Chain A
Amino acid sequence: MTRSVYLDNNATTPLDPGVYDSMLPYLREDFGNPSSSYSLGFRAKKAIQHARTQVATLIGAQSREILFTSGGSEANSTILMGVPLQRRTSGGHIITTLIEHPAILNACEFLQERFGYTITYLAPDAHGVVDPEDVRRALRPETVLVTVMMINNEVGSIQPIREIGEICREQGIHFHCDAVQAIGKIEVDVNELLVDSLSASAHKLGGPKGVGALYVKTGVDYLPLIHGGGQETGMRSGTENVAGIVGFGMAAELAGERLPDVQARMEVLRDLFLRELAARLDQWTWNGSAQACYPSTLNLSFEGIRGEALQAMLNQMQVYVSIGSACSSTSTKLSHVLQAMGKSVEEIRSAIRFSIGFQTTEEDILHALDVLTGLVERLRSMSTKLVKG
């Protein structure tokens, strides 16, 4: 059987076996609606409360500050709609960055188009990191929200959240952090980071898809996105995804246990990848750096070939990676993140993202490199682009 290597953990992670086990009772015998006033319902409610504590513990929050959602996008949209529109029904100002996830960028665009908001997009440096002082410079009297991601999904760059938090706290501006790619990878303490809200997604840390969490600091006023039966203290109605929430709680607990070693482990694997790649191939560049990026993400450009072709071939060889730029006859669809980092069109088109997970082994890395090297050489041998050397 051909070995398969999954190196797309920024897209999603496999369900942790411990998480799977924790969810099973709530998919079978404990199927009750948490709002029901009999024991089946009580058990479901209790399980949600336990999961809330598990998630809160991972990020240093209080249980009552955690709201369960359908995922990271809903958590982000809840704040992106609920905070600005609670403060100004039109004409407000939001500060964000050019490298945010579409969940943030498209929500900002919506506010701009439908509610006359003005959006300031901060540019990152060549390594994909924004300058906190740019936030200070962009502030206006009508600024109602600053939203900056913690770790970028395409290149892994870590943003100076605490420094931005200080500026926002000093100015009394709501500061939201999309921490979907950060939770379970680095220590996230909402009090240390001085964030007013923060979003997370279960399936990025070994949990199930379809469940996310939103931290909202006690006392923050915002409007609910989903209206209905008053679940989640009325801020997110809808019958809870009990099994999903239980799974998220367990994933958070297990991620917390892995946390002290996870970064060092990722560094070992990343360094192995880079060292071996350098020994085997020339003419590739790293769209990021060891100083700026979390070690689980490696965004690399291979000169002379298209990332799409390489990814499709890797897929045929059961090595699973991602590309930021799709090919289409009608649009260039170049990665907005790499563009913001000042990469050339050629570099962007030849980029591939490898993202390591908690389950990735050294053998996985070495096998992926064997396959990768052969395919890059094959594609280069047939390329119209001249490759030096």
Chain B
Amino acid sequence: MYNDIICEHFMNPRNTGVLAEADYMVEVGNPICGDTVHLYLKVEGKKITDVRYQAYGCSASIATASIVSEQVIGREMDELTQFTKEQVSEWLGELEPAQQHCVDIGLSILTGCAHPSELPLVEKTYLVESEEAMNK
């Protein structure tokens, strides 16, 4: 079972959808469990002014993307790299051991949003998984 913060966010996810005028698209994926989150960023200077996301994933990754999207809006890109694992954990609330990967998803979203130019701007529809990842 998920905590109330996670439940509330996956039932009412914020900032979902696509930004038609996005400056960047960031893709965050977990090749093992197959989750993918696409974030669309609107940026002014170094400041992220708007975010929308789409997610194909478990309830926890949908909720994580929603929670982190709220933190990203209005921040300078440089600020995003300053957040620690502990801070992300705090945003997400208490997690069971099997749900701890949400923290990593959150950190990956922050890293992706901090360095959007390093990521491809082409839209990918599917995350292709390697055989090796599947057999783990």
Contacts and interface: CB of A to CB of B under 8 A. Distances in A.
Contacts of A385: 56, 125-126
Give the interface size class of chain B: 20 to 34
B136 A327 contact: no
A332 B32 contact: yes
B22 to A, nearest CB: 14
Interface stretch (B33-41, B43-51, B71-79, B109-117): B33-41
Nearest to A380: B56
B89 interface: no
B17 interface: yes
A328 interface: yes
A298 B107 CA distance: 38
A308 interface: yes
Interface stretch (A101-109, A148-156, A161-169, A309-317): A309-317
Nearest to A315: B1
Contact of A332 (B11, B38, B104, B134): B134
Q: Among B35, B38, B53, B104, which residue has the most Cβ atoms of chain A within 10 A?
A: B35
B96 to A, nearest CB: 11
Contact of B54 (A313, A326, A383): A383
Interface string B98-127: 101100100000000000000000000110
Contacts of B126: 385
A149 B72 CA distance: 52
Given A313-B10, A384-B36, A306 B129 contact: no
B56 A306 contact: yes
B71 to A, nearest CB: 18
B83 interface: no
A330 interface: yes
A345 B56 contact: no
Contact of B11 (A308, A316, A331): A316
B13 A309 contact: no
Contact of A384 (B55, B58, B98, B104): B55
Interface string A369-389: 000000000000111111000
A327 B55 contact: no
Interface residues of A, number: 23
A308 B102 CA distance: 14
Contacts of B129: 345
B60 interface: yes
B27 to A, nearest CB: 8
B98 A309 contact: no
B30 A306 contact: no
A332 B62 CA distance: 18
A250 B64 CA distance: 48
A329 B53 CA distance: 21
Nearest to B52: A382
A309 B36 contact: no
A304 interface: yes
A305 interface: yes
Contact of B98 (A306, A328, A383): A328
Contacts, number: 77
Interface string A316-343: 1000000000111111100000000000
B119 to A, nearest CB: 14
A312 B13 CA distance: 14
Contacts of B60: 327
B134 A383 contact: no
A349 B57 CA distance: 9
A382 B62 contact: yes
Query: Which of B17, B33, B62 gathers most chain A CB within 10 Å?
Result: B33
Contact of B33 (A312, A328, A386): A328
A382 B16 contact: yes
Contacts of A386: 125
A313 B11 contact: yes
B54 A382 contact: yes
Interface in A259-312: 304-306, 308-309, 312
B2 A312 contact: yes
Nearest to B57: A306
Given A382-B16, A382-B54, A329 B33 contact: yes
A372 to B, nearest CB: 15
A27 B94 CA distance: 39
Nearest to B135: A332
8 contacts: A304-B56, A305-B56, A306-B34, A327-B33, A327-B35, A328-B101, A382-B13, A385-B56
Interface of B: 2, 7, 10-11, 13, 16-17, 30, 32-38, 53-60, 62, 98, 100-101, 104, 125-126, 129, 134, 136
Given A306-B34, A309-B58, A332-B33, 17 more contacts: A304-B56, A306-B58, A308-B58, A309-B59, A309-B62, A313-B10, A316-B7, A328-B98, A329-B32, A330-B101, A332-B134, A332-B136, A382-B54, A383-B54, A383-B55, A384-B125, A386-B125
